[in-house]
Structure 1
Amino acid sequence: MPPKRPRDDDVARPAKKQRKGFSVGPANLPDGTHKRKVQKIKRDLIHKAKLRKSYAKIKAREDATEPGRSVYEHADGEEETEEPSEPVPEPTLEPHPDRVKLFEHDSLELKESIGHARRKKRPRPQPYKNEAELAQKHKEEAEARRKVREDAAKERHTRLAERERLRKAMAKARSGPDGKRKLGRESTVLLEKVKRLVGNA
């Protein structure tokens, strides 16, 4: 079969090209901060382009309503001097009232958003929280055991020192210059022994 003859309408009208949208940044970004940032940039670009387009339309509409002036209207370099109908106000340093209202509105919104951000601030997630708590618990237990051991060692050391002192005192009391016992010295040592025994009981 021979190919179909193209219609006259098809020849006059070229095939419509499918326009491909523009892209910002790499296409294979994973979900996360970078992808959201790229998407935000793209949204901003689209918004600005729409604003420019709408501005151009409005400007074209205004230009169409106003009669256009030609450069050649004024011949021989004549210049038209227009007298201002009302005096031009002197420039002041104070901003326009509308601008002041806008600043106040923006500052209120900013304060509210900061307040919400402060209230909604959550603690950062700690991935090893349980392990850290367990390690802290073990550390405290080991510290307690070490303290008990140290206290026991100190007590044992004081007991040994006391026993050694009593032994030496008894040895001194028993060995006089002539080999006789010194009852005065021995009695003080024995009295200390009795006091310690009664105190423990």
Structure 2
Amino acid sequence: MAPKRPVNDAEPGENGREVKKPRKGFSVGPDNLPDGTHRRKVQKIKKDLIRKAKVKKSYNKIKEREQANASQATPNGPTAPEEASASLELHPERQAMLDEPETVPQQQQQADQRPRQRRLPRPKPVPFQREAQLAQQRREDREKRQKEIEEANRQRQAKFEERERFRKAMAKARSGGKDGQRKLGRESKVLLEKVQRMVAE
């Protein structure tokens, strides 16, 4: 078993002096933060607190110095009445401005005599106006494309029907009559229509 500590170690330091513990600075946040955003944030807060404390300390020093200077100046006595009389006197420019005749009311009267123009009320702000315009533009573009597609389909259908009609007419004209010969009259009409269509294009 380990020996017990002597009683004199428990007393304050040797030669009757207290042993001074080293002061640890103040801490902000937990000590075991990993490096990264949180640690930098905590360090920033600590630096701000230190800076504010220094500013406050220097302000208090200056304030105490000023109060000491003021308390030394007050026993003299004659400085206080001079300051009071100085504060009662008006600045020459201000005195001249007060002495001038009043021209401002005349300007106000002229302004009152003019007929007031009625202001038009501001249009109410439309939320998402730009988005609404873009949506309207897209809608119009979509409708335009839809019409173009429908027109193209209609033209395609018309051409298809025309070709089908031409094919049936040619088939009828080529089929033999009673004696097995081709019907040139019918065939010539169909061919004439085809030539006219080609010339028109």
TM-score of the two chains, using structure 1 as the length reference: 0.40
Q: Give 1 or 2 for the bigger CA radius of gyration.
A: 2
TM-score of the two chains, using structure 2 as the length reference: 0.40
Whose helix proportion is higher, 1 or 2?
2
